[in-house]
Amino acid sequence: MPLSVNAGHRKGRGVPDVAGYARGYSIVYAGTTQPDVQGTSEAAPLYAGLVVVVNSHLGERVGYCNPTLYDGRSNSYFGAPGYTSTAGWDACTGLGSLRGRALLKALQRHHATTHEVGPEQGFTGKVAGLVFDRFGEFDGFLMVDLAGGERKFDSRDGEVEQVVSRAWSEHVTTTVLFRDKEPRIPISIILRGRP
């Protein structure tokens, strides 16, 4: 981890996720081309489009794909500018830029693994509530299936909180995939849509 480029040059936590080419194509919002869109505002729609293409190849939504992207690593906070991009992880571009075909192959492997293990590995229903610890930190969520069965899932991941908060507030039917050995830990969250 390089020292901070900010005053004091402290050693800290590295937080960028991935990088994308963020210049040279048009962003159209509500039918109007947006001038001077650069950086994250241009790279984020690029990756959103990539996920749409991957969804098309898989025949269903990818859902929460961070476990596949990060393989246990999490960079869920805002990064600081000023670092030099290098091979591997760096403070400027995180894990680098995604290669669409490689991402598709990784998600196909993940998709095949989660579908081989049978229906007992998925819980489909509605998010019934969010769980917070005594300090107000996100600690997981509750799901209820169509038959009234309830299950609690544990997570402290901010991105999981965002996904399940949306599923809860919009009453979206949701599938949570998990492994037999860790039935309370979500490995993928798929928002299916409203009934």
Q: pLDDT at position 118, please?
A: 45
Q: Which segments of the chain have a pLDDT < 70?
A: 1-6, 12-19, 21-24, 40, 64-97, 110-120, 194-195
- Domain(s) labelled CATH 2.40.50 in the chain stretch across 119-193
**122 beta partners:** 177
Global confidence as pTM: 0.42
Given this structure, which CATH class describes domain 119-193? Answer: mainly beta
Kindly tell me the sign of the dihedral angle through the C-alpha atoms of 164, 132, 136, 187: negative
Tokens of 79: 């990064």
Residues 27 and 99: their CA atoms lie apart, in Å, by 21
Residue 13: exposure state from Cβ atoms within 10 A (0-12, 13-18, ≥19): exposed
Instruction: Judge whether 155 and 74 are in contact, CB under 8 Å.
Output: no
Q: pLDDT at position 129, please?
A: 94
Which residue, among 53, 59, 61, has the nearest Cα to 192 in the 3D structure? 61
Q: pLDDT at position 119, please?
A: 43
Per-residue pLDDT tens for 90-135?
665 666 667 778 777 877 776 665 555 444 478 889 999 999 999 9
